[in-house]
């Protein structure tokens, strides 16, 4: 193994380790805030509002973060994101009288900025340290492990709250992030810096492949969150009669399984020597669309709801994870080497927009039409994503080939 390869593996391990630490605290913080403020007597709508700015600022952050990463390096933006998460956790250590809805929304907005800076930086770094032949595998491991650990974070948040209380849990997460931040200081400077001074306008891609993939990503993640974020948890509790612990545990296990499938996607790919392209995206998205539509039909037809929802969610998770993993690979494959941070930032801006739209639609569709309405909306959004994917390049675009 050459010294360059050793250095690349070391840098990849540092980036991944920091991303893991951040992901654990991000999942734990969401569960911690949800459970703690539920105990304080906040209504479900008030709790939902606490996370609104978290998603809104994710859209802005991905645009600005990509431009910033191209100017100062993605290792620096990763460090800034980790530091901002520490600050957002510290803000919640304030006295209980300070923890009003606007105050906590502001802290969550800062956490949303931190999360998307960290994610954009970590995924851009993989492009810069991985060779073309191993990019699919490395990004799948990073993305899949992140989602699995986010599920673990759900458990961790509840456990820390029960064992150490709200403030003790926050201090434990601050310590974990501080350790991760310290390790990233050993990364080489200037990773991902674009030669010259890129303008903010360059964040918005003029590459058809990236634009098409970003548009498809918007609808793909909107289709997940339109029933997963609000409709599904409320349905499990209100209709199936599950307790809060059962709902949280089930959703955490789903996220962990989803992450495991994401990480395993390169091994499941049946065409060795040929990376996935347009056909894999279109076929996978169309197959995914059939699942929520079939679930909506089954519920409307009066079939037993528990098997339909649990089985459908498990199948949806597997197919969605495969699609998401291929998407995450393609954006890095399409992005030019030295402009990867800007293109990844633009792409995940669409991702954050889809999550925000899905979250809002989930509450509205469930209130008007129930879970069946959420599922139909999910199927429609996935059909739109498949349509937008038809014009993607037939095969992966290399660094030297214009998209």
Contact 293, 234 (CB under 8 A): no
pLDDT tens track for 294-312: 999 999 999 999 999 999 9
Q: What is the pLDDT of residue 112?
A: 85
Among 62-76, 250-264, 358-372, the least confident range: 62-76
In three-state secondary structure terms, 264 is helix
> How far is it, in rounded angstroms, from Cα 24 to Cα 12?
18
Angle in degrees, CA 365, 371, 375, rounded to 5: 80
pTM of the full structure: 0.71
> How far is it, in rounded angstroms, from Cα 273 to Cα 16?
26
pLDDT tens track for 61-114: 766 766 676 677 777 888 888 999 999 999 999 887 888 878 888 888 888 888
Helix (H) or strand (E) holding 67: helix 52-72
> What are the distances in angstroms from CA 159 to CA 16, 44, 172, 248?
24, 22, 12, 12
Q: What is the pLDDT of residue 200?
A: 44
pLDDT tens track for 136-186: 666 777 767 777 777 788 778 877 887 888 889 899 999 999 998 888 887
Q: What is the pLDDT of residue 67?
A: 66
Structure tokens at 330: 């393609």
Contact 213, 331 (CB under 8 A): yes
Q: What is the pLDDT of residue 277?
A: 76
């Amino acid at each position: 193994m050459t010294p360059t390869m050793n250095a690349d593996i070391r840098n990849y391990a540092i980036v991944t380790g920091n991303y893991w630490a951040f992901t654990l605290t991000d999942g734990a913080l969401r569960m911690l805030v949800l459970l703690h403020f539920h105990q304080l007597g906040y209504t479900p709508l008030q709790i939902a509002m606490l996370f609104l700015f978290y998603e809104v600022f994710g859209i802005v952050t991905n645009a600005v973060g990509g431009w910033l990463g191209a100017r100062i390096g993605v290792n620096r933006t990763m460090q800034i994101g980790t530091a901002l998460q520490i600050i957002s956790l510290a803000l919640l250590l304030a006295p209980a009288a300070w923890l009003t809805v606007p105050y906590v929304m502001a802290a969550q907005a800062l956490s949303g900025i931190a999360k998307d800076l960290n994610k954009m930086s970590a995924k851009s770094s993989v492009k810069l340290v991985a060779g073309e032949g191993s990019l699919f595998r490395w990004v799948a491991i990073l993305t899949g492990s992140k989602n699995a650990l986010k599920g673990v974070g759900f458990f961790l948040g509840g456990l820390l709250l029960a064992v150490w209380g709200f403030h003790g849990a926050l201090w434990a997460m601050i310590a974990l992030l501080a350790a991760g931040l310290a390790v990233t200081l050993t990364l080489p400077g200037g990773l991902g810096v674009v030669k010259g001074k890129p303008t903010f306008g360059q964040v918005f891609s003029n590459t058809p492949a990236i634009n098409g993939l970003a548009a498809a990503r918007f609808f793909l993640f909107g289709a997940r969150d339109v029933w997963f974020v609000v409709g599904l948890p409320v349905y499990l509790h209100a209709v199936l009669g599950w307790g809060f612990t059962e709902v949280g545990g089930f959703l955490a296990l789903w996220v962990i399984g989803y992450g495991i499938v994401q990480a395993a996607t390169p091994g499941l790919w049946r065409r060795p020597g040929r990376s996935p392209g347009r056909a894999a995206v279109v076929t996978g998205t169309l197959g995914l669309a059939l699942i929520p539509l079939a679930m909506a039909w089954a519920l409307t037809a009066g079939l037993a709801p528990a098997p339909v929802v649990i089985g459908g969610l498990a199948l949806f998770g597997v197919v969605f994870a495969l699609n998401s993993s291929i998407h995450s690979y393609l954006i890095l494959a399409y992005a030019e080497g030295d402009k990867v941070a800007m293109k990844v930032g633009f792409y995940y801006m669409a991702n954050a927009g889809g999550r925000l739209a899905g979250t809002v639609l989930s509450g509205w569709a469930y209130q008007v039409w129930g879970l069946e309405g959420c599922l139909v909306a999910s199927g429609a959004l996935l059909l739109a994503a498949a349509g937008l994917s038809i014009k993607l390049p037939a095969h992966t675009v290399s660094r030297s080939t214009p998209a």
